Chains A and B, each alone.
Chain A
Amino acid sequence: MEASGSNRPRYTIAVSGLNAVDSPGPGVAVIRALHESPGFAVRIIGLSYEALEPGIYLHELVAKTYQLPYPGAGTAALLERLTHIHEQEKLDLIIPNFDAELPNFIKLAPQLTTLGIRTFLPTLTQLEARDKLHLGAFGAEHGLLVPADEPMHHAGQVAKLGEKLGYPLVVKGKFYDAVVAHTPEQAQKAFYQLQAKWGLPVIGQQFVSGHEINIAGLGDGRGRLISAVPMRKLYITDKGKAWAGITLEDPTLLALAEQFVAATNWRGGFELELIRTAAGELYIIEINPRFPAWIYLTAAAGQNQPMALMQLALGEEVPTFEGYAVGRMFIRYAWDLITDNTEFHQISAFGEL
């Protein structure tokens, strides 16, 4: 930490998830929210995996970017890289934003603390409990409504599960992506596609019809919900991502977020993906263990969740947010960022820009 020109403390924060593409990572939105924190200034260090992640080139938001080894390389390779980055940049905090990288960061959290780098992450137990593979058991344990689902370890299981859960059947990748299959043939094809992309198992989930609602939230790790902002998707891409959304006012949604955090002692950001049926039932179809890509809407609505996470990581007392702007909308847009090929070469060849 150092003093900024405006006498606000300035922190150096490393953020991943810079892939602001058609299936966007949350990083750029997290960074945008952090820059709007009134209490402190930030210097953002980007953490990337691919040379074409747009956030790498957004120099007004990201001071410098370092490429990371893929999660499959393990914790030792990640720690070595983070140690190097820390030597250059003196990091105060890391906010990882990809599901697949979270286990490594959680495992390394004690070593990072020793280095002087803070994190504010769920525990491995919390991470596992809400995993797609365990969502059914998680719902049953905590009295939460969850669609029936089963993991599929080989293609021969697809037809049987389709008969059991009926069609349409939601076929989901281990980490990301989902396909709504209307026939056994479509389900089989989706199984192979998702197996090739994300590995096994592939998950089959009962289809629930209704409105898609998401809640972005932040838990303090001791059972208290710091913030929750519900959003209804108004425009959904063919990848199922919200391209536009609007904040909602509904005490039942906030109560559900409170129930989730109280039941799990959730630590950090999260997203509940919900379907509200015509009968008004709220099904949890997925729990993401990090902020969503639309997280900037929480700041725009008056509950800057990335800022609050930063304060929690610093050990500050963070009061529960009260109220937010209802009817606040986001509309995502595509923007052609222009850069020089030398920048692309720099990040590609040296892993730093």
Chain B
Amino acid sequence: MKLKKNIATSETGFIFNPVTGDSFSANPLAAEIIGLLKQEHTAETIKAHILGRYEVEPSQLEKDWDDLVAQLRDHNLLD
């Protein structure tokens, strides 16, 4: 899973798609994940990072991860 290369992101969670002109606001955790995607980390690496940093069950993370990916795909932000 890769974020489109031209997607602009900020540390505050602002996301801008320069092709469509759409912009979005992400919550802090989603912003952190999107930042890591932007740095081309793999899904596995990011999930391991989240599990190590936050108190979250792997099953819950998987569910939330799928939700986030679906939203990113819906908004045309993934390659």
Binding site for B on A (CB under 8 A): 211, 213, 232, 234, 246, 248-250, 276, 326-327
CB distance from B24 to the nearest CB of A (A): 13
What is the bound-complex CA distance between A213 and B20, given in angstroms?
9
What is the bound-complex CA distance between A326 and B16, given in angstroms?
10
**Contact between B16 and A327, CB atoms less than 8 A apart:** yes
Q: Which residues of B contact A246 (CB under 8 A)?
A: 21
What is the bound-complex CA distance between A211 and B8, given in angstroms?
20
**Contact between B16 and A232, CB atoms less than 8 A apart:** no
Contact of B6 with A by CB under 8 A: yes
Contact of B19 with A by CB under 8 A: yes
* 21 A-B residue pairings within 8 Å (CB atoms): A211-B20, A211-B21, A213-B21, A232-B20, A232-B21, A234-B21, A246-B21, A248-B18, A248-B19, A248-B20, A248-B21, A249-B6, A249-B18, A249-B19, A250-B18, A250-B19, A276-B20, A326-B18, A327-B8, A327-B16, A327-B18
CB distance from A247 to the nearest CB of B (A): 8
What is the bound-complex CA distance between A327 and B6, given in angstroms?
11
Q: Which residues of B contact A276 (CB under 8 A)?
A: 20
What is the bound-complex CA distance between A52 and B72, given in angstroms?
49
Residue among B6, B16, B18, B19 with max Cβ neighbours from chain A (10 Å) = B19
Q: Which residues of B contact A327 (CB under 8 A)?
A: 8, 16, 18
Beyond known contacts A211-B20, A276-B20: 19 more, CB 8 A cutoff: A211-B21, A213-B21, A232-B20, A232-B21, A234-B21, A246-B21, A248-B18, A248-B19, A248-B20, A248-B21, A249-B6, A249-B18, A249-B19, A250-B18, A250-B19, A326-B18, A327-B8, A327-B16, A327-B18
CB distance from B29 to the nearest CB of A (A): 25
CB distance from A126 to the nearest CB of B (A): 29
CB distance from B23 to the nearest CB of A (A): 8
